[in-house]
Amino acid sequence: MKIIKSLLGMAVAAGLSFTATPGFAVGPAPAPLATPVKLTIGYVKVGHLAPLSLVPEETKKLGVEIELVEFSRYADARTALLAGSLDAAAVAPADLAISLAQGSTNMVGIMGVGGSKKYVIGRKGVKLDSWEDLKGKKVAIGPGSAVWFQFAATVTEKGVPYNSFQAINIQGGGANFNQALQRGEVDAIVCWEPFESIPVLEGYGFFAKNLEYSESKAVGAELGMIAASRKAVETKRDAVERFVWAYIKAQETLSADPARFADSYARLTGVDPRIATEASKLITLGAVISPEQLERQAKAFADLGVIQKDMSGEIRKYWDASFVAKATGR
C-alpha cells in the first residue's frame, strides 16, 4: 500500500484533472429502420442510468428492440461486452483502458452518463468533521473500484496517509456496505447510490459533507460511460445511433423533470421511491467524460499499478464521438 500511496501522490502531483463536458441538446428523431434490429444492452442498477428505463419504448418507434441485461458490477458488464455477449453496456470510465491493457480491442467508448458529488458516509455517532478524522477509523471500500480511486486520490491530495485508517475490503454489491455500517463493523463507507442515501434515510448513517471526494485532481466526478462492442459499431451502426439518440433524449427528459427522474430511478433500481427521490438530487445527467479525461485517468491508473500498462496513447483509437455528434447535430 505504501507503493500505491507513493504512485498516487505522483499522479496527483502531476496535476491530472477532469473537466465536465457540457451536455448537448438532442436533435430531431432519426427515421425508423426499414428492418427492425435488436440490441442487447448491459447495465447495473444505479440511479445515474435511470434514462435506460425510458429508452426501450423510444427505440421501438425507431425500429430498434432493446433487451436490457442486468449485472451486479460494471466489471461484469465489461467482461460480457468484451466476450461478445452484449452489443453495448454501461461500464466504468477506466474500463476502456483496462480492456486495452488486457489485450482486448473489442470495446468502443461512446459517451458519458453523468456525475455527482461524492461524500464519505459515516456511521451515526462517529465524528467525521474533517479528513483528519479518518485517522484510526475503519473505512469500507470496494478495492479497485471507480469510487475507491476517487476516494484514494482525494485522501492523498488532502495529505492524509492512506495507512492512517483501516481500509476494509467489501466484496459484492452496495447492500454489503450498508450491512457492515449498520452492524457497526465499520465507521464509514465509500460506496455508490442508492447505497449512500439508504443509511442516511434509515437513520444509521450520515453524509460527511466535509469529506467530499468527487473533485480530486486525478479523477473527477464521472459515474460511468456507455460503450459498444466493435462488432455492433460495424454491423449494427444504424441501431446503435438510434439507441444513443434515445438515451440522450431520455437524459434531457429526466433532467428537466426531477419527479420523473426519481420515479425512473426507483423503477430501474427497485429502491424505495423516497430513497430514489433523495438520491437523484445528487446526480447530474449528461456527459462528464471526454477522451482527454480518459487519457488522464489511464495514465493515473497505470502509475498506480491498477492497470498493467499505460494505454493513454491508445484511448482515442477506441473512442467514437460520431454517435453523440449525429444525435445532437454537432
Domains belonging to the chain, first-starting first, are: 17-115+222-328 (3.40.190.10), 118-212 (3.40.190.10)
pLDDT at 13: 36
pLDDT band at 5 (very low <50, low <70, confident <90, very high): very low
> Where do we find the cell 489485450?
103
State the Cα–Cα distance between residues 154 and 177, nearest whole angstrom.
20
Q: What is the largest CA-CA distance in the chain?
A: 63
Burial class (CB in 10 A: 0-12, 13-18, 19+), 267: middle
Of the candidates 95, 217, 71, the one whose C-alpha atom is nearest the C-alpha of residue 154 is 217
216, HSE (Cβ side, Cα atoms, 13 Å):
32
Q: What digits encode the pLDDT tens for the residues 112-126?
A: 999 888 999 999 999
One-letter amino acid identity for 260? R
The predicted model gives 294-302 an average pLDDT of 82
Strands (E), the chain: 37-44, 64-71, 88-91, 107-112, 114-116, 119-123, 138-141, 166-169, 188-189, 205-212, 225-229, 283-285
Q: Residue 20 corresponds to which cell in the numbers above?
A: 465536465
- Which one-letter DSSP state was computed for residue 183? T
Give the pLDDT of residue 304: 67
Query: Per the confidence metrics, is the pTM higher than 0.75?
Result: yes
Q: The C-alpha cell of 137 is what?
A: 477509523
Higher-confidence position of 17 and 131: 131
3-state secondary structure of 235: helix
Could you tell me what percent of the chain has a pLDDT over 70?
Answer: 92
Measured from the Cβ of residue 295, the count of other Cβ atoms closer than 10 Å reads 20
Q: Write out the three cell numbers for 212.
A: 467530499
- Which range (1-5, 98-102, 104-108, 278-282) has the least confidence? 1-5
The mean pLDDT value of the chain amounts to: 88
Which DSSP category does 253 fall into?
H
Contacts 24+ apart (CB under 8 A), 208-211: 208/119, 208/120, 208/121, 208/122, 208/128, 208/129, 209/119, 210/128, 210/129, 210/130, 210/131, 211/119, 211/120, 211/128, 211/130, 211/131, 211/134
- For residue range 174-203, list pLDDT tens digits in order: 899 999 999 999 999 999 888 998 999 999
Instruction: Give per-residue pLDDT as tens, 135-177.
Output: 999 999 988 777 887 898 789 889 999 999 999 999 878 899 9
